[in-house]
């Protein structure tokens, strides 16, 4: 089962982290005219591009015939092919962003927003690809869309906080809000899974504690002055990352093992 | 409209759950590895296969043999990223071009019947093709031929005079999971 689940977890985690990070960067980073200090823009853009590449490479491990992967782009009506098209589109835009940041020293706001927009489409297409799996009851629910999309935003936020967290209090606030929304999405997924004969309660509670309760506690410590912004950012990033990965593992194990 | 539209009726009142269709399909089609093109479940899908339903003394035991439903609007064909999964316009039979398939498994995920089955020997998807080579020579599929209870009736659904069309009409055959909108070509009586 691990060989079936792992490539999907790696793909959705890495690509979700990359596109989610661009969304957060567009909202709270340089693109919004609030350029974070530290000159890490190039490293951030390059990391996102590498993560997207790692995610796409992981999908090859999911295929029985990886050498024929180009065949998987033949049918535009297929959600899998659409994931490929949008992944390539976001990859090209990210590459341009990496080059522009390297050449100009700062990102172009319009390009960051374009990547964020295409990234949102990719998040939705990915989520709908699993939602459309009518043969896998545990995935065929609206909660799947929220678990994937909100999970991607949280993963992106984790990456953004690792790079720019200490200088972006707004992003930290987004973290608290999204963590709360994540709890609702997880609860909906647990209910849907129960209705379709799967039990993902344990992993979802674990994910909820890691990606919802603990980040809010970190925020409280930071607000109380008992944790500086840098440490709070790193702590929240780690908690969000592990919390979402736990939920992703449970999501795919419930579907593939069904 | 296709020249022919092959379909099947399965009489659950006649099926005895002997699994001859499952074994006959596997052996005769030389279905590799752990792939299965045919399987049998309890008619009450929440029950174990040989578990009776109802309360004593009014208990019953009935089965639902499952295979590819060769849908008119097949989810596997629409969702196959490669186009390997395809529907023959002249017969309505859905089959997979294994030399094109990338074995992503998505067809099995989107099929309401879980019909596509991974060939874990050659690492490509495989599935029931209504024994299309036999059918083209005028024979019926192995599962129909081998059924000791004569529970399966195969034929052309476009021909109102075919045995399969007549029995579906007479016994009010119903497809399985019609709510998924794939318009199956297998009917249960």
Question: For position B140, which CATH number holds?
Answer: 3.30.70.20
Residue numbers of the domain that contains B163? 6-72+129-188
Quote the number of domains for chain B. Answer: 1
- A25 with A158: CB under 8 angstroms? no
In this predicted structure, what is the pLDDT of residue A34?
A: 57
Per-residue pLDDT of B98-135, as tens digits, reads 999 999 999 999 999 989 999 999 999 999 999 999 99
> Hey, of A8, A59, A71, which one would you mutate to test binding to chain B, going by the most B CBs within 10 A of its CB?
A71
Classify residue B51: in a domain, yes or no. Answer: yes
In this predicted structure, what is the pLDDT of residue A179?
A: 81
For chain A, what is the total number of helices (H) and then of strands (E)?
A: 9, 0
Residue written as token pair 């992993």: A203
- A107 with A45: CB under 8 angstroms? yes
Q: Looking at the predicted structure, is the pLDDT value of residue B2 above 70?
A: no
In this predicted structure, what is the pLDDT of residue A30?
A: 60
Classify residue B163: in a domain, yes or no. Answer: yes
Classify residue B158: in a domain, yes or no. Answer: yes
Classify residue B106: in a domain, yes or no. Answer: no
- Measured at the alpha carbon of residue B95, what is the angle toward residues B80 and B134, in degrees to the nearest 5? 175
Q: Looking at the predicted structure, is the pLDDT value of residue A257 above 80?
A: no
Q: Looking at the predicted structure, is the pLDDT value of residue A47 above 60?
A: yes
- Burial code of B137-165, b = ≥16 C-beta within 10 A, e = fewer? eeebbbbbbbbeeebbbbbbbeeeebebb
In the predicted model, what is the mean pLDDT of chain A? 87
Q: Looking at the predicted structure, is the pLDDT value of residue A73 above 70?
A: yes
Q: What is the pTM of this model?
A: 0.88
Classify residue B123: in a domain, yes or no. Answer: no
CA–CA gap between residue A246 and residue B40 (Å, rounded):
35
- A115 with A90: CB under 8 angstroms? yes
Average pLDDT estimate for A19-24 = 94
Classify residue B117: in a domain, yes or no. Answer: no
Average pLDDT estimate for A106-129 = 94
Distance from the A140 Cα atom to the nearest Cα atom in chain B, whole angstroms: 10
Please, what's the largest Cα pairwise distance for chain B? Answer: 54
pLDDT band at A36 (very low <50, low <70, confident <90, very high): low
In this predicted structure, what is the pLDDT of residue B52?
A: 87
Size of interface A-B (CB pairs under 8 A): 80
Alpha-carbon distance values, A55 to A16, A120, B169 (Å): 9, 16, 52
In this predicted structure, what is the pLDDT of residue A239?
A: 87
Dihedral (Cα; A83, A84, A89, A91), 10-degree rounding = 100
In this predicted structure, what is the pLDDT of residue B76?
A: 96
C-beta atoms of B83 and A72 within 8 A: no
Classify residue B124: in a domain, yes or no. Answer: no
Find, among B93, B45, B51, the residue nearest to B65 by Cα: B45
**Cβ of A81 under 8 Å from any chain B Cβ?**
yes
Pairing of strands B186-188, B6-10: parallel
CA–CA gap between residue A135 and residue B117 (Å, rounded):
12
Length of chain B counted residue by residue: 189
Among B residues 11-70, those touching chain A with beta carbons less than 8 Å apart: none
Classify residue B31: in a domain, yes or no. Answer: yes
Q: Looking at the predicted structure, is the pLDDT value of residue B169 above 80?
A: yes
Q: Looking at the predicted structure, is the pLDDT value of residue A76 above 90?
A: yes
Per-residue pLDDT of B27-38, as tens digits, reads 999 999 999 999
In this predicted structure, what is the pLDDT of residue A210?
A: 76
Which domains, and CATH codes, for chain A? 2-256 (1.20.1630.10)
In this predicted structure, what is the pLDDT of residue A1?
A: 60
pLDDT band at A201 (very low <50, low <70, confident <90, very high): confident
Average pLDDT estimate for B33-44 = 92
Q: Is the ipTM of this complex over 0.90?
A: no
Q: Which two tokens stand for residue B11?
A: 């009489």
Residue written as token pair 């390997």: B84
C-beta atoms of A75 and B83 within 8 A: yes
Lowest model confidence (mean pLDDT) among A36-40, A88-92, B171-175: A36-40
Average pLDDT estimate for A191-210 = 81
Average pLDDT estimate for B17-22 = 93
**Cβ of A117 under 8 Å from any chain B Cβ?**
no
In this predicted structure, what is the pLDDT of residue A37?
A: 52
Dihedral (Cα; A80, A81, A83, A86), 10-degree rounding = -170
**Cβ of B183 under 8 Å from any chain A Cβ?**
no
Name which residue leads in pLDDT, B134 or A223: B134
């Amino acid at each position: 089962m691990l060989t079936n689940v792992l490539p999907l977890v790696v793909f959705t985690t890495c690509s979700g982290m990359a596109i989610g990070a661009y969304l957060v960067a567009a909202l709270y980073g340089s693109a919004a005219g609030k350029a974070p200090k530290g000159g890490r823009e190039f490293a951030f853009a390059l990391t996102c591009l590498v993560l997207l590449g790692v995610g796409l490479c992981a999908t090859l491990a999911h295929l029985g015939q990886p050498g024929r992967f180009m065949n998987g782009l033949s049918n535009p009506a297929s959600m899998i092919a659409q994931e490929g098209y949008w992944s390539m589109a976001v990859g090209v835009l990210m590459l341009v962003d990496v080059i522009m940041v390297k050449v100009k020293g700062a990102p172009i706001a319009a390009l960051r927003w374009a990547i964020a927009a295409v990234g949102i489409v990719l998040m939705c297409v990915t989520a709908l690809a699993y939602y459309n799996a009518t043969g896998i009851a545990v995935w065929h629910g609206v909660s799947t869309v929220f678990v994937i999309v909100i999970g991607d935003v949280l993963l992106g936020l984790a990456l953004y906080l690792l790079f720019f967290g200490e200088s972006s209090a707004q992003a930290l606030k987004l973290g608290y809000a999204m963590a709360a929304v994540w709890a609702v999405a997880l609860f909906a997924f647990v209910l849907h899974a129960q209705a379709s004969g799967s039990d993902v309660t344990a992993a979802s509670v674990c994910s909820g504690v890691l990606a919802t309760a603990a980040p809010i506690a970190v925020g409280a410590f930071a607000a109380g002055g008992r944790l500086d912004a840098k440490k709070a950012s790193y702590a929240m990033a780690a908690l969000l990352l592990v919390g979402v990965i736990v939920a992703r593992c449970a999501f795919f194990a419930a579907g593939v093992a069904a | 409209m296709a020249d022919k539209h092959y379909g099947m009726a399965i009489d659950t009142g006649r099926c005895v759950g002997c699994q001859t269709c499952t074994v006959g399909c596997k052996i005769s089609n030389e279905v590799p590895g752990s792939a299965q093109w045919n399987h049998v479940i309890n008619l009450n899908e929440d029950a174990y296969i040989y578990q009776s339903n109802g309360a004593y003394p009014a208990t019953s035991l009935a089965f639902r043999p499952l295979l590819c439903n060769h849908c008119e609007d097949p989810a596997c064909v629409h969702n196959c990223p490669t186009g390997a999964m395809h529907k023959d316009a002249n017969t309505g039979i859905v089959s997979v071009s294994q030399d094109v398939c990338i074995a992503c498994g998505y067809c099995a995920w989107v099929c309401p019947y879980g019909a596509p089955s991974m060939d874990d020997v050659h690492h490509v998807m495989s599935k029931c093709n209504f024994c299309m080579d036999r059918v083209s020579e005028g024979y019926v599929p192995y599962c129909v031929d081998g059924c000791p209870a004569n529970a399966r009736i195969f034929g052309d659904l476009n021909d109102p005079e075919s045995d399969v069309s007549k029995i579906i009409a007479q016994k009010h055959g119903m497809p399985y999971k019609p709510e998924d909108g794939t318009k199956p070509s297998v009917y249960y009586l």
